[in-house]
Chains A and B, each alone.
Chain A
Amino acid sequence: MKRRKAYTPYLFLLPALAFMGVFLFYPIVDVFRLSFTDYNMITEANFTGLENYRNLFNDPLFWKTLKNSFIYLIGVVPILVVAPIFLAILVNHKLAGIKWFRAAYYIPVVTSMVVVGIMWKWLYQGNGILNYILQTLGIINNQINWLTDPQIALFSVMAVTVWKGLGYYMVIYLSGLQSIPQELYEVSDIDGASWWQKQIHVTIPLLKPSIMLVSILSSIAAMKVFTEVYVMTNGGPLNSSKTLVYYIYEKAFENLNLGYAAAMGFVLFIVIFILSFFNIKLMDQSSR
């Protein structure tokens, strides 16, 4: 009887494992293999050894796009880790109409990024509504070139990612908040704690698991940004908003240089792996 029971969980896992094997693990291994070839989808792939990796390390555009992806990471992740906590605290009250607010914050999440990108492209236009409002209010004198100034374009795109992601992480924190026992807040009330002290000493420590989850998810998402760039700027102007994944896409599907793209993809894989590893280590240490 015992022996049969031991196998049952694995049998249940088998379909999911098979699916992941075919659509996740096998492609990862195959990309690694492709990175040593000159595959272009039309003709047979020839083995080229480490040539792709050598070209990669000497390619200034690879380093630029990697840098852009890191700027994305540093700019977007702190905001998406911290701000949704306060949004979640806000919508966690039993006020009239609070459900409407929760829905409103979540609507950007369920809207297609393509639609969001097109919409923000219009808002960001030189003679678009954002500049119009800012100029009418006297905040700026001349139009700001949100998407056509190489110094600002990347940050304009980052703002869209933040805007769209807030609701998603808010919901993760909301479920975390709802598992915090109310007695702890009542006890701190008795101790005379202010609202801010309650958040620092009760809410945030107990939200640690959620914070770790959010920081890993948002870091990975930030390193993989593609759609916003594709819709809004095509990586321009002057490659200032080109992220690594966009460059990989360009090399693979526009230049038909899949071997090189695979090499870049594998480097990205290693980078994200290291990032996630340090993320977890950091969280583990601070919780001790």
Chain B
Amino acid sequence: MKKKLLVFSMLLLFVFSFSAVIAAEDVTVEFWTMQLKPTFTDYINGVIEDFEAENPAVEIKWVDVPWSDMEKKLLSSAAAGNAPDVANLNVPFSMQIAELGGLVDMDKNLSEDVKDRYFESVWSSNTYQGQTHALPWYLSTSITMYNAQIFEEAGLNPDNPPEKYSQLLEIGRQIKEETGKYLMLPPIAETGRYLEYMVRQGIPLLNENRTEAAFNTEESVEFLEMWVEMFEEGIIPRETITEGHNAAVDLYQSNQAAILLTGPQFLDRVQENAPGIYEQTKVAPEITGEAGKVGVAVMNIAVLKDTEHKEESIEFAKFITNDKNQLDFAKIVTILPSTKEAAADPFFTDVAPDSKKDMAKKVSAEQLNRAVNLIPPMTNQNELNEVINQMVQNALLGEKTATEAIADAEAEWNSILAE
């Protein structure tokens, strides 16, 4: 009896050791995305299947996380020691993690010809202190959506939308007088967005050494005073102080605002929620400032430093951001690829003249070669953003004059930058 037991357990051990060896060859790479399910489930699954076909020893485990939960989920999983291997992050958040040393340096791990695939300006939006901590994935540039009917009611030419911030005061006054509606809700008191507005206007943010604030100029004061005037006259709603982009979309959809500055993918949302407004909507290039700069929002693919499968993770990151996969993605939703060859495809220039979404895509793509990531990476970005938010809120509410608010913000920036 004992002999039989011994033989049996040795056989069992033998069998199990085999399966352990086989299991060890299969690598699982965990990949997190920001709110791509259910709309893009088929596309991402397709990319994963293609990758697994080319790399049979690698299995990709895909987890989709709601947009607003991504940061918290990633941080808590990192704290618990089971962070994903590859993650789709936006620039500010990947910057935050990179500052703490949490991401793999792509500059060191990719060859020059692979790096060359990507647009230079977009690649460098992830470069900080000599390291590039993520691969750019899909991009979107903002466009101007405007309600042609409100324009007509206000006696404005619907084929001649505003191009610069300096035109907004007059147009806003006319819209308010003739229709009683708001011009728009500019998200200038939220998460440092006003910095982008300043950059578009040509106001410098930092001095050359990036050690001191440089936005305390006459132009800067005039620019802020313009927004204060719009606020006081009710051309932009009071909710500008506490609300952001979501409220701007709501206001436009509910026919209370004439203009919406947003990404072209929001056309789908407007079409679904407010088909009547969608009918009246026209599309134009992003309203910008005197410097004529256009912003680009970059979505990244980053590899977490703690990954146990660095090679495979980097391969997957390269794969999902390659020309073919990005072009396929851009064909199913109004986004732009970060790679040069994909962006040169005629898909982006051949448009049906009546289609709003095609127009949006064309406008968006045309802006790409003059688009830059408006805000350079800075340490303590959150704190610096908060100072700007307070500066705008103080000025709009009349608690400080524009001059005082900007001067105080400059002083606070200098003390944060000196840390």
Interface size on A, residues (CB 8 A): 21
CA A165 to CA B79, docked complex, whole Å: 35
- Binary contact track A15-46/B, C-beta < 8 Å → 1, others 0: 00000000000000000000000001111000
A residues less than 8 Å from B71 (CB atoms): 253
Give the interface residue-count category, chain B: 20 to 34
User: Does B409 interact with chain A (Cβ within 8 Å)?
Assistant: no
User: Does B210 interact with chain A (Cβ within 8 Å)?
Assistant: no
A residues less than 8 Å from B122 (CB atoms): none
User: Does A69 interact with chain B (Cβ within 8 Å)?
Assistant: no
B residues less than 8 Å from A279 (CB atoms): none
B residues less than 8 Å from A239 (CB atoms): 390
A residues less than 8 Å from B239 (CB atoms): 125-126, 147-148
User: Does B100 interact with chain A (Cβ within 8 Å)?
Assistant: yes
User: Does B238 interact with chain A (Cβ within 8 Å)?
Assistant: yes
CB-based contact A147/B242 at 8 Å: yes
B residues less than 8 Å from A148 (CB atoms): 238-239, 241-242
> Which of B168-176, B334-342, B365-373, B392-400 lines the interface with chain A?
B392-400
Measured CB to CB, the closest approach of chain A to B32, in angstroms, equals 15
CB-based contact A41/B75 at 8 Å: yes
Q: Could you tell me which residues of chain B, from 86 to 110, have a CB within 8 Å of some CB in chain A?
A: 96-97, 100-102
- Which interface residue of B72, B75, B237 has the most chain A CB atoms within 10 A? B75
CB-based contact A40/B242 at 8 Å: no
CA A206 to CA B392, docked complex, whole Å: 54
User: Does A237 interact with chain B (Cβ within 8 Å)?
Assistant: yes
- Which interface residue of A42, A147, A233, A234 has the most chain B CB atoms within 10 A? A42
CB-based contact B97/A42 at 8 Å: yes
User: Does B189 interact with chain A (Cβ within 8 Å)?
Assistant: yes
User: Does A160 interact with chain B (Cβ within 8 Å)?
Assistant: no
- Of A42, A43, A237, A253, which is within 8 A of B242 by CB? A237
User: Does B311 interact with chain A (Cβ within 8 Å)?
Assistant: no
Measured CB to CB, the closest approach of chain B to A149, in angstroms, equals 8
CB-based contact B393/A126 at 8 Å: no
- Binary contact track B226-245/A, C-beta < 8 Å → 1, others 0: 00000000000111011000
A residues less than 8 Å from B45 (CB atoms): none
CB-based contact A233/B76 at 8 Å: no
CB-based contact B399/A145 at 8 Å: no
CB-based contact A237/B76 at 8 Å: no
User: Does B78 interact with chain A (Cβ within 8 Å)?
Assistant: yes
User: Does B328 interact with chain A (Cβ within 8 Å)?
Assistant: no
CB-based contact A42/B100 at 8 Å: yes
Known pairs A148-B238, A256-B96; A43 contacts B101 (CB<8 A): yes
- Binary contact track A236-279/B, C-beta < 8 Å → 1, others 0: 11110000000000000111100000000000000000000000
Known pairs A43-B102, A238-B397; A256 contacts B242 (CB<8 A): no
User: Does B41 interact with chain A (Cβ within 8 Å)?
Assistant: no
A residues less than 8 Å from B102 (CB atoms): 42-43
User: Does A209 interact with chain B (Cβ within 8 Å)?
Assistant: no
User: Does B50 interact with chain A (Cβ within 8 Å)?
Assistant: no
Question: Chain A at the B interface: mostly helix, strand, loop or mixed?
Answer: loop
User: Does A75 interact with chain B (Cβ within 8 Å)?
Assistant: no
CA A125 to CA B382, docked complex, whole Å: 28
- Binary contact track B296-313/A, C-beta < 8 Å → 1, others 0: 000000000000000000
- Binary contact track B154-191/A, C-beta < 8 Å → 1, others 0: 00000000000000000000000000000000000100
A residues less than 8 Å from B101 (CB atoms): 42-43
User: Does B383 interact with chain A (Cβ within 8 Å)?
Assistant: yes
User: Does A150 interact with chain B (Cβ within 8 Å)?
Assistant: yes
CB-based contact B76/A234 at 8 Å: no
CB-based contact A126/B76 at 8 Å: no
Known pairs A148-B238, A253-B75; A236 contacts B189 (CB<8 A): yes
CB-based contact A238/B399 at 8 Å: yes
CB-based contact A237/B397 at 8 Å: yes
Identity of the chain A residue whose Cβ is nearest the Cβ of B241 in the assembled complex: A237
A residues less than 8 Å from B96 (CB atoms): 256
Measured CB to CB, the closest approach of chain A to B153, in angstroms, equals 18
A residues less than 8 Å from B394 (CB atoms): 238
CA A226 to CA B237, docked complex, whole Å: 25
CA A66 to CA B261, docked complex, whole Å: 37
CB-based contact B390/A238 at 8 Å: yes
Measured CB to CB, the closest approach of chain A to B363, in angstroms, equals 31
Identity of the chain B residue whose Cβ is nearest the Cβ of A146 in the assembled complex: B238
CB-based contact B399/A150 at 8 Å: yes
CB-based contact B238/A43 at 8 Å: no
CB-based contact B75/A238 at 8 Å: no
Identity of the chain A residue whose Cβ is nearest the Cβ of B305 in the assembled complex: A42
- Binary contact track B275-300/A, C-beta < 8 Å → 1, others 0: 00000000000000000000000000
CB-based contact B78/A41 at 8 Å: yes
Q: Could you tell me which residues of chain A, from 41 to 82, have a CB within 8 Å of some CB in chain B?
A: 41-43
CA A234 to CA B386, docked complex, whole Å: 12
- Of B72, B97, B237, B393, which is within 8 A of A236 by CB? B393
- Of A42, A126, A127, which is within 8 A of B75 by CB? A42
CA A253 to CA B237, docked complex, whole Å: 29
Measured CB to CB, the closest approach of chain A to B129, in angstroms, equals 16
CB-based contact A42/B237 at 8 Å: no
- Of B241, B382, B399, which is within 8 A of A255 by CB? B382
Measured CB to CB, the closest approach of chain B to A22, in angstroms, equals 14
- Which interface residue of A125, A127, A148 has the most chain B CB atoms within 10 A? A148
Identity of the chain B residue whose Cβ is nearest the Cβ of A143 in the assembled complex: B238
Known pairs A42-B78, A147-B242; A126 contacts B383 (CB<8 A): no
CB-based contact B100/A236 at 8 Å: no
Closest 6 CB pairs between A and B? A42-B100, A148-B238, A41-B75, A236-B242, A42-B102, A41-B79
20 A/B residue pairs, CB under 8 Å, sorted by A: A42-B75, A42-B78, A42-B97, A42-B100, A42-B101, A42-B102, A43-B101, A125-B239, A127-B237, A148-B241, A150-B399, A233-B242, A236-B242, A237-B397, A238-B393, A253-B71, A253-B72, A253-B75, A255-B383, A256-B75
A42-B102, A238-B397, A253-B75 given; name 9 further pairs at CB < 8 Å: A40-B100, A42-B75, A42-B100, A43-B101, A43-B102, A126-B237, A148-B242, A150-B399, A236-B242
